[in-house]
């Protein structure tokens, strides 16, 4: 099998996308550490994997602390003597408008989504370096383009993307690749938003759209991308932001100069007022990834 002999850690794998990733990695031959904060969820997924003949261990811990992240990686090392693949999937969302968001709201999301990604990698990468091989797959989000009520979530996922690009540069010399992915999945994390969009359609006298019509797909449809990126076949792929939404696969462009204008002698405020629109300002870059009725545009 594609991942025979490999050991994979999947954070936040008690439900949703993480569960789908863990199961497909195990079906591809990897030994998997299942992680979540809820013991029942961990036990269920470990049981599912063992039920089809796969190998799995569970770790109930939060990625939001260095201690919790360390416990997750130690589970892999103690049980399987190595860590080859790290899927940083654990994430939470506390949707609030900026004017209503508290410091606690912000800090909790950053701690899990951004610090948790750092913490798990910090513990796992030394093991990968020793073996001269590793795969890090981080979950980012289209929310980095802007999402109402998502100051903490969008900033955390933007940070995850930046970590991914930095680690791709820093770790390549050790045989370790790092890529970020995103997928619009119908999970508990997106449930409220999907329901709001459906209720809004009904209020307008329209038929409620399906999850797929809103741009949300089954978590299982994204799992093959994780398995592929974790394999030797994807060793040439590094530092990429890859999207998979049902049947659509896409590479996202990194932030580079979209349009450039040169003014000999430099720009003044007056020159900017005169020339911005006719040089770099037409058109301006799109922002936001949801239409007003809740459908995905990315």
Could you say which DSSP state residue 115 is in? I
SS3 138: strand
Task: Please state the pTM of the whole predicted model.
Answer: 0.91
Segment 192-201 long-range contacts (CB within 8 Å, at least 24 positions apart): 192/95, 193/294, 194/294, 196/294, 197/293, 197/294, 197/295, 200/293, 200/294, 201/293
Q: What is the pLDDT of residues 112-162, one digit of tens each?
A: 999 999 999 999 999 999 999 999 999 999 899 998 999 999 999 999 999
Which residues have a catalytic role annotated? 153
Q: What is the pLDDT of residues 73-116, one digit of tens each?
A: 999 999 999 999 999 999 999 999 999 999 999 999 999 999 99
pLDDT of residue 95: 92
Q: What is the pLDDT of residues 12-43, one digit of tens each?
A: 999 999 999 999 999 999 999 999 999 999 99
Q: Classify burial at 279, counting beta carbons within 10 Å of its beta carbon; exposed 0-12, middle 13-18, buried 19 or more.
A: middle
Residue 296 confidence (pLDDT) above 70: no
């Amino acid at each position: 099998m594609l991942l025979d002999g490999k050991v994979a850690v999947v954070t936040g794998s008690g439900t949703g996308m993480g569960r789908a990733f863990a199961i497909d990695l195990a079906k591809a031959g990897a030994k998997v550490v299942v992680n979540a904060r809820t013991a029942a969820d961990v036990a269920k997924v470990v049981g599912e994997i063992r039920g089809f003949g796969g190998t799995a261990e569970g770790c109930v811990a939060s990625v939001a602390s260095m201690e919790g992240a360390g416990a997750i990686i130690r589970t892999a090392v103690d049980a399987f003597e190595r860590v080859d693949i790290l899927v940083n999937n654990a994430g939470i969302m506390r949707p609030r408008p900026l004017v209503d968001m508290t410091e606690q709201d912000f800090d909790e999301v950053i701690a899990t989504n951004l610090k948790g990604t750092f913490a798990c990698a910090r513990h796992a990468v030394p093991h990968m370096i020793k073996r001269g091989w590793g795969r890090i797959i981080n979950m980012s989000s289209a929310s980095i383009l802007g999402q109402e009520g998502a100051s903490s979530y969008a900033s955390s996922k933007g940070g995850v993307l930046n970590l991914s690009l930095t680690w791709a540069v820093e770790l390549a010399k050790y045989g370790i690749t790092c890529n970020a992915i995103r997928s619009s999945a119908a999970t508990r994390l997106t449930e409220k938003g999907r329901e709001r969009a459906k209720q809004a359609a009904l209020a307008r006298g329209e038929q409620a759209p399906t999850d797929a019509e809103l741009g949300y797909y089954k978590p299982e449809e994204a799992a093959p991308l994780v398995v592929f990126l974790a394999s030797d076949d994807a060793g040439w792929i590094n530092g990429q932001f890859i999207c998979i939404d049902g049947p659509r696969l896409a590479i996202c462009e990194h932030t580079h100069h979209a349009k450039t204008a040169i003014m000999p002698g430099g720009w003044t405020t007056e020159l900017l007022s005169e020339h911005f629109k006719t040089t770099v300002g037409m058109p301006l870059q799109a922002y936001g990834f949801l239409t007003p009725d809740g459908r995905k545009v990315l």
